[in-house]
Amino acid sequence: MGFRAPSGRTGDAQSAGRGLAAAMTPDLADLLAALAKLPANQLPEAIGQLEAAKAAAWARLVLPARQAHVVPNGDGALLDVKEAAAQLGVSTAYLYREVRAHRLPFARRIGRRLRFDPVAMARWIRRHPAG
């Protein structure tokens, strides 16, 4: 079964990949070409890495609008996962994944619980603007 190409016509994934690659930067076009040649047994890992890159790209698109909502509380209390996710506008699953990958320096483990320093979180966001 095909999919709907941006032009409105139906095509297969490979022909659409070439059309999309032609309109993109050379690096992305090279990546798509390399994926087409990748052995089937290596595709799951490659797809996982692409999904991680996709999630990071979506976060860059979404977070700028939500950054203003990250307000450190004055009492120095740490945020739990749900509170931090709500302030950042991301899912709790995303936070857990990023903490596991050691990409959020404002996250703290306290026993088995995960807590977030709101002051450090706001500082980190200012230093790492999305986009």
Phi, psi of 56 (to 5 degrees): -65, -40
In three-state secondary structure terms, 113 is strand
Instruction: Give bridge partners of residue 96 from the DSSP assignment.
Output: none
Nearest by Cα to 117 from 99, 94, 90, 101: 99
SS (H, E, C) 67-83: HHHCCCCCCCCCECHHH
Where in the chain are the domains?
9-36, 70-127
Nearest by Cα to 120 from 82, 77, 64, 89: 77
Give the tens place of pLDDT for each residue, 44-81.
Answer: 888 877 877 777 777 766 665 544 445 555 556 899 99
Predicted local distance difference test score (pLDDT) of residue 95: 93
Q: How many alpha carbons lie under 13 Å from residue 60 in its C-beta half-sphere?
A: 10
Asked if pLDDT for residue 42 goes beyond 80, the answer is yes
Give the tens place of pLDDT for each residue, 82-111.
Answer: 999 988 888 999 999 999 999 999 999 988
Predicted local distance difference test score (pLDDT) of residue 88: 85
Give the tens place of pLDDT for each residue, 15-38.
Answer: 444 555 455 577 888 888 888 999
Residue type, 43: L
Nearest by Cα to 16 from 1, 27, 24, 4: 4
